[in-house]
Chains A and B, each alone.
Chain A
Amino acid sequence: MNDDVAVLGVGMHPWGKWGRPFVGYGVAAAKAALADAGVPWSDIDFVVGGETVRNGYAGYVAGSTMARALGWNGARVATCYAACASGSAAIEAARTRILAGLSDLALVVGADTTPKGFLAPNAGERWDDPDWLRFRLIGATNPTYFGLYARRRMDLYGAGPADFAMVKVKNARHGLHNPNARYRKEVAAEDVMASPVVADPLRLLDICATSDGSAAVVLASMDAARRLSSDPVRIRAVSTVTPRFPNTALDMPDIATDSAASVPAPAQGFRASIAAAAYEEAGLGPEDLSLAEVYDLSTALELDWCEDIGLCSPGEAEKLLHEGVTSLGGRVPVNPSGGLACFGEAVPAQAIAQVCEVTWQLRGAAGPRQVEGARVGLTINQGLFGHGSCVILAK
């Protein structure tokens, strides 16, 4: 039985801060992906949008918003929201419909227009909304959580600000020649360590910006793909797992963890379990990876992910970084696109953008940032409220 789905086309609108409506970015990415696939919009039988919650009703129904903007073609439609994991949830909706034999050609689009500064809840009083309450009662922003995780690396493993800064230096170098990246310039470790503290120990340049941006993919059944492409990149696994009780690491936007008083914590934490489920589905392991795109909301968080996807044991990611293993030219480049450090965060597009990058890499079409001989790539991120997101792609 073949459980693969082909990635026929990928596309993005360059990421930045233009303040234009998100629909335009989404249409640009969709048209780029359709052109890349060589598939006319009229042949798409399923369109899935990643929802944006900051752009009114059109954002809540992003799938149909994109379908309408491209010109109604009668395709079936869905919209997925899983916060930062929305894109992989959307990809999974398309993939499962294709694998069920109900669709041949699907378009997945995520696009966002993001205000400057901290991401914040929409206006209004909601005393039963945990995301609203963490701001109201504690003033806990997203960087608060990044700061908590970074500090644990320092106090438990002896990591320091210079280690975190090196992640930024590496990713800035990776993104230098990426035409879709928002930031394309070298950053020195001293620049990072001289930038103002936002959430101790993290500084402004340790934390990703919020961006306008979009990404799209055209997925196809292997039968449909064979008619259009000789050797398409394939999706081998998608993991959209939730945590197992009790989840004892404090996840955004929670004010408290689960209690492990009656049931011991699982051996594997939530983040590691996201990758483990994908590896199991693909029949592959960390030793098979040529590259990984991980969710570097902060520099320190990239180090956590390197461990969670099994590149090294807990506490060893700094060593991997300094040995150059995760740099372009190293054994497993991490974030060859430049990552969020160069793109910033555009929530519903994020996971799709990661899949675009891995696809370009596996095609050998990544230009100056190409990972030599790339065969297998992994994307991983996590959406708040317990959304896992991991995609494994192979040639």
Chain B
Amino acid sequence: MPAAVPVIEGWFTVDEPPALLGGRCPACGTYQFPPTGTWCPNPGCDSDQMATVPLSRTGRVWSYTDAQYQPPAPYVSPSDPYRPFAIAAVSLEKEQIVILGQVADGFGVGDLHVGAPVELVVEPLERDGEQTKLVWRWRPISGAGDHEGEAR
């Protein structure tokens, strides 16, 4: 049994560097996340195929918040007592899509602003017995174009 596995199959890779996996319509170029559909979500496109592709590893913060109180089940807290964490919705330029995720360990809302650049990482979400479950997260890219983006 591998020591660390994605918490959900087929949504992201754990190679270095990791990437979210999305659907891409070969006919019209529309993307989709999560890559669960087998048809194109664009109502103007008849395609019934979606190719699975890695999505851009960097994007800009669309908005952000945090979870100061422990979310209810099915959320599983990795620590006891509960430790608050930040959440960001990130806009990917090429795919023109906004994807939600937790913010990487060690970063909080003070490290973020709308338009801030972030990159995708994979980190432990929780431990399940001997096994670590991995999840995608967004990590601020320090110093890189901090003041660009829609907020300014």
B31 touches A261 (CB 8 A): yes
Bitwise interface map of A from 101 to 141 toward B, beta carbon under 8 Å scored 1, else 0: 00000000000000001101101010110001111111111
Which chain A positions have C-beta within 8 A of B113?
A: 155
Task: Flag if B72 contacts A141 (CB, 8 Å).
Answer: yes
For B112, give the chain A residue with the smallest CB separation. Answer: A151
- Flag whether B3 is at the interface (Cβ < 8 A): no
Indicate if the CB atoms of B73 and A123 lie closer than 8 Å. Answer: yes
Q: Which residues of B contact A1 (CB under 8 A)?
A: none
Give every chain B residue within 8 A of A121 (Cβ-Cβ). 74
Check if A256 is an interface residue, CB within 8 A of chain B: yes
Question: Quick check: is B124 within 8 A (CB to CB) of the other chain?
Answer: no
For A125, the chain B residues whose CB sits under 8 A away are 74
Per-residue contact bits, chain B 52-95, to A (CB 8 Å; 1 contact, 0 not): 00000000001111111101111110000000011101000011
Q: A-facing mask of B96-135, CB < 8 A → 1, else 0?
A: 1111111000000100011100000000010000000001
The 8 A CB mask of B12-51 against A (1 = contact, 0 = none) is 0000000000000100111111101000011111000000
**In the bound complex, do residue A258 and residue B41 qualify as a contact, i.e. CB atoms below 8 Å apart?**
yes
Inter-subunit contact A148/B63 (CB<8 Å): yes
Give residues 141-161 of A contacting B (CB, 8 Å): 141, 143-144, 147-152, 155-156
A199 adjacent to chain B (CB < 8 Å): yes
Q: State which of B28, B66, B72, B135 has its C-beta within 8 Å of the C-beta of A147.
A: B66
Please name all residues of chain A whose beta carbon is closer than 8 Å to the beta carbon of B125 when the two chains form the complex. 137
CB within 8 A of B114: which of A140, A143, A147, A152? A152
B residues within 8 A CB of A262?
25, 28-30, 42, 45
The residue of chain B having its C-beta at the shortest distance from the C-beta of A245 within the complex is B43
The secondary-structure label for the interface of chain A is loop
A257 touches B98 (CB 8 A): yes
**Is B99 within 8 A of A255, CB to CB?**
yes
B102 touches A138 (CB 8 A): yes
B8, CB-defined interface residue at 8 Å:
yes
Q: Which of A258-308 contact B (CB under 8 A)?
A: 258-263
For the complex, give the distance between the alpha carbons of A262 and B115 in Å: 22
Query: Is A198 an interface residue when CB atoms closer than 8 A count as contact?
Result: yes
Number of chain B residues whose Cβ lies closer than 8 Å to a Cβ of chain A: 51
**Known contacts being A134-B100, A138-B87, A139-B67, is A259 close to B62, with CB within 8 Å?**
no
Distance (whole angstroms) from the CB of B12 to the closest CB of chain A:
10
User: Which among A197, A255, A263 is the interface contact of B34 at CB below 8 angstroms?
Assistant: A255
**A261 adjacent to B96 (CB under 8 Å):** yes
Within 8 Å of chain A (Cβ to Cβ): is B7? yes
Known: A121-B74, A135-B73, A139-B85. A256 touches B97 (CB 8 A): yes
| Interface residue? B1 (CB, 8 A) | no
Given pairs A117-B72, A120-B73, A148-B63, 9 additional interface contacts (CB within 8 A): A118-B71, A136-B7, A138-B102, A139-B102, A147-B66, A152-B63, A155-B114, A200-B66, A262-B45
Residues of B near any A CB (own CB < 8 A): 7-8, 25, 28-34, 36, 41-45, 62-69, 71-76, 85-87, 89, 94-102, 109, 113-115, 125, 135, 150-151
What is the interface of chain A, defined by CB distance below 8 A to chain B?
A: 117-118, 120-121, 123, 125, 127-128, 132-141, 143-144, 147-152, 155-156, 196-202, 245-246, 248, 250, 254-263
5 interchain pairs, CB-CB under 8 A: A139-B87, A139-B102, A248-B98, A261-B96, A262-B28
